[in-house]
Structure 1
């Protein structure tokens, strides 16, 4: 075993200087590891997928009128909300364009749009699904009906997409929000 001291006199001098000290006990607490950006993004995506699968079921078939424009008002809200959306009383604060997206990806984007609208206090959102093969046009109203924060929706007026879009009102929990 090698010694840091060259002779015994130096070792004695060191012991005198240290006196009644004792060795520090290691507490073995490691500093918190920094999370990298990829892992944070993956966690956010997993949370969004979890929320989307929680709210939006593909097997649920709500009773929405199929004749005429698509419209819905959640129970407990003013019955004329759909009519007011159609008239253009509400302007969308956020717009989501789902053209060309597959159904599962569109479901995630819709969940993220609603989450963002709640977080940023946006009352009106516009979902542009297009007409195309009609898959998203049929599914989006069914998904919106299932979300508890969607107060009402109606087919968008022509300036916001007409037959290829839906305007939805998000319930922010504020009194007199839609009156």
Structure 2
């Protein structure tokens, strides 16, 4: 290097300070692995509790996006379930659980079924969706609804809907009726 080159270089570097550390600042805060692990553990614990409403998450029956759902309580006539599956039992109420968290869906479903029971509704439709999850696992709300409806005391049975009513993304739900006083049925 000539004296002239060294002088030019020194001139260009005037005012520049040496870096104290050798890592670039990416602008992203470092992840706290301990905090992430604690959050994951807390999420797992909360999913394994039974809430006051009686709908438990202790054992969820995983179902696929295109799986048809079918369940009937012991003693329910096959003809009733066949009519339900064929869409021959009119539904008088409908609930859409799309975009809800699991806990919000549980509360909304419980309240909806309580109201349907209070009004002596025989059949309702629940739209749970069938969205494939980003992590490749089974549909979350659909799997939970499949499990919860089996636990609900007012549910006699349920089947996946006809394509015109949501197909495998919704279910018709047959409910018990307590028969209001003075009703002729």
* Partner Cα distance (2:92, 2:122) in 1: 7
Moved more, 125-134 or 142-151: 125-134
Partner of 2:147: 142
3-state secondary structure, aligned to 2:52: helix
Structure 2 segments unaligned to the other structure (5+ residues): 1-49, 134-138, 180-185
* Partner Cα distance (2:60, 2:104) in 1: 20
3-state secondary structure, aligned to 1:88: coil
State yes or no: 1:85 paired with 2:90. Answer: no
Please state how far the C-alpha of 1:93 moved relative to its aligned partner: 0.5
Moved more, 106-115 or 53-62: 53-62
3-state secondary structure, aligned to 1:55: coil
* Partner Cα distance (1:61, 1:136) in 2: 10
Contact 2:69 2:160 in 1 (8 A): yes
User: What does residue range 88-167 of structure 1 map to in structure 2 within 5 Å?
Assistant: 88-132=87-131, 133=133, 134-167=139-172
* Partner Cα distance (2:51, 2:108) in 1: 9
TM-score after normalising by structure 1: 0.62
Please state how far the C-alpha of 1:68 moved relative to its aligned partner: 5.3
Please state how far the C-alpha of 1:52 moved relative to its aligned partner: 6.0
TM-score after normalising by structure 2: 0.60
* Partner Cα distance (2:155, 2:128) in 1: 17
3-state secondary structure, aligned to 2:53: helix
Deviations for 1:82-102, whole angstroms, at most 9, x for unmatched residues? 221111111110100111000
Partner of 1:57: 56
* Partner Cα distance (2:91, 2:166) in 1: 12
* Partner Cα distance (1:61, 1:101) in 2: 17
Please state how far the C-alpha of 1:61 moved relative to its aligned partner: 4.7
Structure 1 moving runs of 4+ over 4 Å: none
Structure 1 segments unaligned to the other structure (5+ residues): 1-50, 175-179
How many matched pairs?
123
Q: Taking structure 1 as reference, are residues 153 and 94 closer, same or farther at Cα in structure 2, changes over 3 Å only? A: same
Please state how far the C-alpha of 1:163 moved relative to its aligned partner: 1.2
